[in-house]
Structure 1
Amino acid sequence: MPSKRLSVVVTRRLPEPVETRLKELFDVTLRDEDTPMTRAELVAAVQECDVLVPTVTDPIDAGLIGQAGPNLKLIANFGAGFDHIDVQTARSRGILVSNTPGVVTEDTAEIVMALMLGVTRRIQEGLSLMQNGEWQGYAPTALLGTRLGGKRLGILGMGRIGQAVAKRAAAFGMQIHYHNRRRLRPEVEEPLDATYWDSLDQMVARMDIISVNCPSTPSTYHLLNARRLRLLKPSAIMINTSRGEVLDENALTRMLKAGELAGAGLDVYEHGIQGNPELRNMPNVVMLPHMGSATHEGRLEMGEKVIINVKTFADGHRPPDQVVPAML
């Protein structure tokens, strides 16, 4: 008799090859609509399944985990970030949590560079002129931006993505600086030609562009708060592709409105998916709809990692990408 296949619930539509392979391996419930599950649907899922495959849009909090049935033993997240999952509560209930690290590194670093160029070269303003038929022709003083070469880039969080950003920025002739919980090993730091700052305050006060690439944890909540943002030069630009909660978005908005900051490029937001409404009307702000990992290649690789994590668990072993306390 074949062993019973794991019951797996997937909360969002995934790339077709990923859904097909999951269906081949497990007893999978797929989502027809590409919309987030309601709270009631999430509760029903965790009460019945062995494995839940959520995404960043699903709040897997203590209240939800507390309603899980006895069969739920793995939350195999589709995505690298896991701040939407109460990992500690899951662990206390004997539920493992896994994620998909590493596969979106290059994609996110590309979006960081796109946002830098978008803000510094005023691409959004130029697009608007063309799309609205308002361009009157070349003028020597029109739409003047700034070049990236020679600018100081301060990277907040020098993990995989931060290092990938550093390599790309160096190719543009930028000077690389960074702040991290721990200084990189010399064999990692030296090829990047990166300058380490133990003091985040001192770093942000001297940079032309700040790129936020650290994870969202209790210790990084509003790490860039109103006080720290005021240390930035008026000519500085803020780029955030990490998590909205790291940056005090309301304080950022006030500074941009007051002309105390040159611009911002955002792919994540602190207050809902739309961000602060006032930001949408600012010509020096480029806003993207959380596109950092949105490539065909990246999403397929994320799905492959989910499959490996669930299959390894089904075979009685620890998922290779299990989230452990040291990561929290």
Structure 2
Amino acid sequence: MAGILTGETAGGGATAPLVGFLDEDHVIRLARALLHPDDAAMRAYVTGFFAPEAIAEKRWARMCAGLEQATHSPAPLGGGTEAVRCVVFRRGNIDRTFLAAHPNLRLIQRLGARPVGIDIGEATWRGIQVSCMPRPSLAAVAEHCLMLMLAVSKKLIQADACVRRGGHEPGDRGQVAYNWPGIDGIGRLWGKTLGIVGMGEVGLLVAERAKAFGMRILYFDDNPLPPELDRELNAEPAALPALCEASDFVSVHVPASPRNGAILGRREFEMMKPTVIIINTSRGSVLDEEALTTALLAGRLGGAALDVHQHEPRPVDAFCAMENVVLTPHLAAGSRLGVLDEIEMIFDNLRAVGAGRRAIHAVVEPRDRP
């Protein structure tokens, strides 16, 4: 039996596409691939995405039930756009022009908690539902970022090694010996300035958590936050040079692209305080690791923590010998199987709207058309 999203022409044939996937974000690609379990290439992409873990076949079948025959199109949408009922995307613009070209659209599904790039008023006027799906995996990245900031500033790796290594005369029961190894330069987050390079989905989640630690937030982004959100977060937009000069921590959250390249390199490092700590949980290519190595070895920066690397897996190199560097093997988002929860909610919405019902998850409140 045809899936509930498969439309029919007057002659009974299927129309396509009905679900438009509008960008090449890796989770969007995964959602497309999950809808085609019998396609060898799609199945290989899914299994490769989750390796070394594995998706349970019963769960895969259950989450795709009713969507097996749903047709789709990657961006840009080709001909037959009048058939599109639902669009799924992470980055892009759903404006009046787009909506006018898709007269039968019934659901705009964004992967991300904010309605970035969506004309909510126009969608409301046209009777189109909008869902913006929060992403637990991105919250996990934000948590990891704060963990790395704490690990470097508190010298966690050195402190742990000192206790494990021993070499000190054991104290008497109940004796207090504060910092018995004599570790110097232990820092804190409270009262410090965090510079966020890229205030997108993860950057905002980091800012929310950093505020709870009593940090001041500077951020560099082409699209500043609304003033009321700046006030709520104790944040202010800044040019990149000003951010580099003022920050005690700099955390990078920009997507990798040929246009971006390395957004932090030798010039930016030279602007920074000698005590600054650099955090990268974005992509290895957005930070010039050679320049970072040089600056750290010269003592021009306070430390660094990287979850993403220019070469993955990372070779043993100068970073690995530095006590003021913390390295993790690209796992900030936690188990990749957690992404299935996000996609499963999207598929719930596709099923509901395809059956003529309201979307179930993360529906955005309607707005008046300007």
Give the shorter-chain TM-score range: 0.5 to 0.7
Name the counterpart of 2:285: 245
Q: 1:316 to 1:170 in 2, by over 3 A?
A: closer
Aligned length: 258
**Alignment TM-score, normalising by the size of structure 1:** 0.66
2:230 aligned residue (172, 181, 189) = 189
Look up the SS of the partner of 1:230 in the other structure. helix
CA deviation profile, 1:79-117 (whole Å, cap 9, x unmatched): x89xxxxxxxxxxxxxxxx99544123211111110011
Q: Say yes or no: does 1:20 pair with 2:58.
A: yes
Name the counterpart of 1:39: none
Kindly state the Cα deviation for residue 270 of structure 1 after the two structures are TM-superposed.
Answer: 1.4
Q: Say yes or no: does 1:123 pair with 2:146.
A: no
Kindly state the Cα deviation for residue 26 of structure 1 after the two structures are TM-superposed.
Answer: 5.6
Distance across 2 between alignment mates of 1:114 and 1:279: 19
Kindly state the Cα deviation for residue 119 of structure 1 after the two structures are TM-superposed.
Answer: 0.3
Q: 1:189 to 1:293 in 2, by over 3 A?
A: same
Distance across 2 between alignment mates of 1:143 and 1:220: 38
Q: One-letter code of the match for 2:211?
A: A
Moved more, 114-123 or 249-258: 249-258
Distance across 1 between alignment mates of 2:207 and 2:331: 20
Kindly state the Cα deviation for residue 204 of structure 1 after the two structures are TM-superposed.
Answer: 0.6
Look up the SS of the partner of 2:271 in the other structure. coil
Q: One-letter code of the match for 1:304?
A: D
Q: Say yes or no: does 1:110 pair with 2:143.
A: yes
Kept in 1, the 8 Å contact 2:199–2:220? The answer is: yes
CA deviation profile, 1:240-288 (whole Å, cap 9, x unmatched): 1111111001110111111111100111111222166211111100111
> Rg bigger for which structure?
2
1:71-86 alignment to 2 at 5 Å? Answer: none
Distance across 1 between alignment mates of 2:349 and 2:213: 42
Q: 1:99 to 1:163 in 2, by over 3 A?
A: closer
**Ranges in structure 1 where 5+ consecutive residues have no aligned partner:** 28-49, 52-75, 82-97, 321-328
Look up the SS of the partner of 1:119 in the other structure. helix
**Alignment TM-score, normalising by the size of structure 2:** 0.59
Kept in 2, the 8 Å contact 1:236–1:263? The answer is: yes
Kept in 1, the 8 Å contact 2:50–2:337? The answer is: no
Name the counterpart of 1:165: 206
After the TM superposition, which segments of 4 or more aligned residues of structure 1 sit over 6 Å from their partners?
14-17, 310-317
Q: One-letter code of the match for 1:22?
A: W
Name the counterpart of 2:300: 260
Name the counterpart of 1:226: 266
Q: Say yes or no: does 1:179 pair with 2:217.
A: no
1:264-303 alignment to 2 at 5 Å? Answer: 264-274=304-314, 277-294=317-334, 299-300=337-338, 302-303=339-340
Distance across 1 between alignment mates of 2:277 and 2:203: 17
Distance across 2 between alignment mates of 1:191 and 1:281: 40
Kindly state the Cα deviation for residue 129 of structure 1 after the two structures are TM-superposed.
Answer: 1.8
Kept in 2, the 8 Å contact 1:155–1:176? The answer is: yes
Distance across 1 between alignment mates of 2:328 and 2:305: 8
Q: 1:136 to 1:127 in 2, by over 3 A?
A: farther
Look up the SS of the partner of 1:130 in the other structure. helix
1:39-118 alignment to 2 at 5 Å? Answer: 101=112, 102-103=134-135, 104-118=137-151
**Ranges in structure 2 where 5+ consecutive residues have no aligned partner:** 5-34, 38-42, 66-70, 73-87, 92-108, 113-133, 171-176, 355-360, 362-370
Name the counterpart of 1:34: none
Name the counterpart of 2:94: none
Distance across 2 between alignment mates of 1:156 and 1:135: 43
Kindly state the Cα deviation for residue 17 of structure 1 after the two structures are TM-superposed.
Answer: 6.7
Kept in 2, the 8 Å contact 1:99–1:306? The answer is: no
Q: 1:265 to 1:136 in 2, by over 3 A?
A: farther
Q: 1:172 to 1:304 in 2, by over 3 A?
A: closer
Kept in 2, the 8 Å contact 1:18–1:303? The answer is: no
CA deviation profile, 1:193-222 (whole Å, cap 9, x unmatched): 21210x201211121110111221223210
Look up the SS of the partner of 1:205 in the other structure. helix
Distance across 1 between alignment mates of 2:210 and 2:262: 25
Q: Say yes or no: does 1:146 pair with 2:187.
A: yes
Distance across 1 between alignment mates of 2:353 and 2:199: 34
CA RMSD between the two structures: 3.9
Name the counterpart of 2:241: 201
Q: 1:211 to 1:237 in 2, by over 3 A?
A: same
CA deviation profile, 1:158-216 (whole Å, cap 9, x unmatched): 1222122112212212111111111111122121121210x201211121110111221
Identity across matched positions, percent: 31
Q: 1:195 to 1:13 in 2, by over 3 A?
A: closer
